[in-house]
Structure 1
Amino acid sequence: MGEPNIVLTRIDNRLVHGQVGVVWTSSIGANLLLVANDDTAADPLQQELMSATAETSGVGIRFWTLQKTITTISKASARQKIFLVVRNPEDVLTLVKGGVPIKQLNIGNMHFSKGKTEITKKVYMDDTDKAALKEIAAAGVDVFVQDVPEDKKQPLEEVI
């Protein structure tokens, strides 16, 4: 098998919702949404809600654990233009360390929670998040913050 055609990887706490499933998917020309998240892979209700959004966009959607993503993504067809969506930086780091060929990482939405500080209006990070993102960038991934496609990309080194 060849290398999977991952057109973009995005961190979004909400995973697939209107902005991801419609705006981003059409903007980057993806035809498959791949949600790599252990909890969602085991939650039929979350899958049903996200599948409805994908259906609206006319794209396929899969829900895989991180491990299944690592072991299976290399079998993707060249026709599949994959939009990989994950919940947090630590999950992306797991995928990168597992050999998933991520070239670009869009940080889109990381909600506020205790101990996190504001990076942008929609991105909050703690030291663990920052360390994971720096390690991902050090592995050669282009890491940037961008809420919607028409926003200017903010390189990681400019925001943390």
Structure 2
Amino acid sequence: MPNILLTRIDNRLIHGQVAVTWSSHLGANLILVANDEVAGNEVQQSLMDMAVSDVVETRYFTLQETIDKIGFASDNQYIFLVVRNPQDALRLVKGGVPIVEINIGNMHYSEGKEQITSTVSIDDSDKEAFRELNKRGIKMEIRRVPDERAKKIMDFVK
């Protein structure tokens, strides 16, 4: 079973909060970005890698690669899994990735989304994905940084 310390939904994927604050708080030595677009974009990967400390490795897999390969993770890999949205998290869960806890960090506002906190905006598709994840018993909270007080996403999903 892979050592997934936490899964984070963050539409920016890797940036300072993820690369430094969260990974050191968790004790992660691997940040795994599961995203179809970034998996094939070396420029984006290089930009994200610039935010990451030398003691933390990064991997960029498609969603399907993550589903196929996560079970082969070494026991000494402490994984911080990052996805762009709740639909991707749900796809990983449905594919058998053993996600037990999701941190929602950044889901930016765009047309058709309702802003529920300063950093999280959701639409009907997001709500449906969160409902399905909740039905599967996955703990989910909104929290930008580790020392911030958590809010339960399901308090905002009616």
When normalised by structure 2's length, the TM-score is: 0.97
Give runs of aligned pairs for residues 11-160 of structure 1, distance below 5 A: 11-54=9-52, 56=53, 58-160=55-157
Identity %: 52
Instruction: Tell whether the 8 Å contact from 1:21 to 1:57 is kept in structure 2 after alignment.
Output: no
Partner Cα separation in structure 1 for residue 55 and residue 115 of structure 2 = 35
1:57 shift after superposition: 5.4
Instruction: Tell whether the 8 Å contact from 1:22 to 1:57 is kept in structure 2 after alignment.
Output: no
Partner Cα separation in structure 1 for residue 133 and residue 102 of structure 2 = 9
Q: Secondary structure at the match of 2:59?
A: strand
**Structure 2 residue aligned with 1:4:** 2
Partner Cα separation in structure 1 for residue 101 and residue 3 of structure 2 = 12
Partner Cα separation in structure 2 for residue 124 and residue 156 of structure 1 = 11
Runs of 4+ in 1 over 3 A off after TM superposition: none
Count, aligned residues:
157
CA deviation string 1:38-81 (max 9, x = no partner): 00001011000111222x25200000000000000000011111
Instruction: Tell whether the 8 Å contact from 2:130 to 2:154 is kept in structure 1 after alignment.
Output: no
Partner Cα separation in structure 2 for residue 135 and residue 117 of structure 1 = 19
Q: Secondary structure at the match of 1:106?
A: strand
Partner Cα separation in structure 2 for residue 30 and residue 50 of structure 1 = 16
1:156 shift after superposition: 2.1
Q: Secondary structure at the match of 2:51?
A: helix
Give the unaligned 5+ runs of structure 1: none
Give the unaligned 5+ runs of structure 2: none
Partner Cα separation in structure 1 for residue 55 and residue 72 of structure 2 = 22
CA deviation string 1:103-141 (max 9, x = no partner): 100000000111000110000000100110110111111
Instruction: Tell whether the 8 Å contact from 1:26 to 1:57 is kept in structure 2 after alignment.
Output: no
